[in-house]
């Protein structure tokens, strides 16, 4: 079974997906990491981020490998691990431009659809576009201020600067970020991280919840 967890920026998608995946004993798949890695490589190669043919040609010569685990996803270009470089302010600022390119979206979607299930998939369009037949779909929200306060624990910028950047990214991502009609929408604002994870687990079909946890 595939479980999709979509939502706005910094709504808790990866933390929640990791917790749900651990409880189910399956990996989770971070689609955003592929967009982030394409952005980082485009910036490093000095490419215009709107240059889809240039970016795709570069990615074909230097392919990326996503390693989906329950505890956290890792992404590699050959022997080089990119994971730790993907959550910078520079990548945050450019990634929505890259993610708006239909050719890049098709490249990401093909990689995701090639992965063996079961898994938890998180992103923006997992439930609407990439895995429309997923067995359970969730969509996380929270106010920009709450999200900025949480993110400020992880970044050097202050809350107003983070909040402004989140609002900008939400606006740029709006097209691909609508919840699926059959998704359960969860406002994570009043909930703890574990509260969100338990809310999702409680809504999964019984046979899915009782899977034994493995070492993924
Ligand atoms: N319900 C919650 N209560 C408190 N903190 C939370 C909650 N959910 C997530 N967080 C914290 O908020 C921060 C952002 O969460 P996370 O990185 O999982 O979001 P995301 O949606 O994957 O972000 P992005 O869209 O930028 O990749 C993390 O520090 C995480 O621990
Ligand atoms: N399914 C997705 C996932 C991500 N994006 C774009 O990537 C950016 C980074 O994603 P995070 O999940 O790490 O925030 C995001 O801002 C989108 O531009 C996407 O379009 N579709």
The predicted-structure confidence for 147-177, as pLDDT tens digits, reads as follows 999 999 988 899 999 999 999 999 999 999 9
| Banded model confidence at residue 215, pLDDT cuts 50, 70, 90 | very low
Token digits of residue 179: 């919840």
- Cα–Cα distance, 107 to 123 (Å, whole number): 15
Instruction: Provide the 10 A C-beta neighbour count for residue 99.
Output: 26
Ligand 2 center to 34 CA (angstroms): 8
pLDDT the model gives residue 209:
65
Pocket test for ligand 2, best of 8, 11, 32, 103 (most atoms within 8 A of CB): 32
pLDDT the model gives residue 206:
72
Is residue 17 within 8 Å of 139, Cβ to Cβ?
Answer: no
Q: Say if residue 213's pLDDT is above 90.
A: no
Q: How high does pLDDT run on average in the chain?
A: 93
Residue with the smallest CA separation from ligand 2 atom 21 is: 124
Is residue 181 within 8 Å of 132, Cβ to Cβ?
Answer: no
- 3-class DSSP state of 184: strand
Identify the nearest ligand to the CA of 162 by its number.
Answer: 1
Mean pLDDT of 4-29: 96
Query: What CATH superfamily classification does 2-202 receive?
Result: P-loop containing nucleotide triphosphate hydrolases (3.40.50.300)
Mean pLDDT of 78-96: 94
Is residue 58 within 8 Å of 47, Cβ to Cβ?
Answer: yes
Please report, for the chain, the start and end positions of each structural domain, with discontinuous segments joined by +.
2-202
Ligand 1 center to 136 CA (angstroms): 21
C-beta of 176 in contact with ligand 2 (< 6 A): yes
C-beta of 151 in contact with ligand 2 (< 6 A): no
Mean pLDDT of 121-131: 98
pLDDT the model gives residue 207:
62
């Amino acid at each position: 079974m595939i479980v999709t967890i979509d939502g706005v920026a910094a709504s808790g998608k990866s933390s929640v997906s990791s917790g749900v995946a651990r409880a189910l004993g399956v990996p989770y798949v971070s689609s955003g990491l592929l967009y982030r890695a394409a952005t980082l490589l485009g910036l490093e190669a000095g490419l215009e981020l709107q240059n889809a043919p240039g970016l795709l040609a570069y990615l074909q010569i230097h392919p990326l490998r996503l390693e989906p685990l329950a505890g956290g996803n890792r992404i590699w270009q050959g022997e080089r691990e990119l994971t730790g470089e993907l959550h910078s302010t520079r990548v945050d600022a450019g990634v929505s431009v890259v993610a708006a390119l239909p050719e890049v979206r098709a490249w990401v979607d093909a990689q995701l659809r090639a992965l063996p299930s079961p898994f938890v998939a998180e992103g923006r369009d997992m439930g609407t576009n990439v895995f429309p037949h997923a067995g359970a779909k969730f969509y996380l929200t929270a106010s920009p201020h709450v999200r900025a306060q949480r993110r400020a624990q992880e970044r050097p910028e202050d809350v107003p600067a983070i909040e402004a950047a989140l609002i900008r990214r939400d606006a740029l991502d709006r097209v691909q970020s609508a919840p699926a009609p059959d998704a359960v929408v969860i406002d994570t604002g009043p909930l703890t991280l574990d509260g969100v994870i338990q809310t999702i687990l409680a809504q999964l079909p019984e046979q899915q919840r009782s899977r034994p946890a493995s070492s993924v």
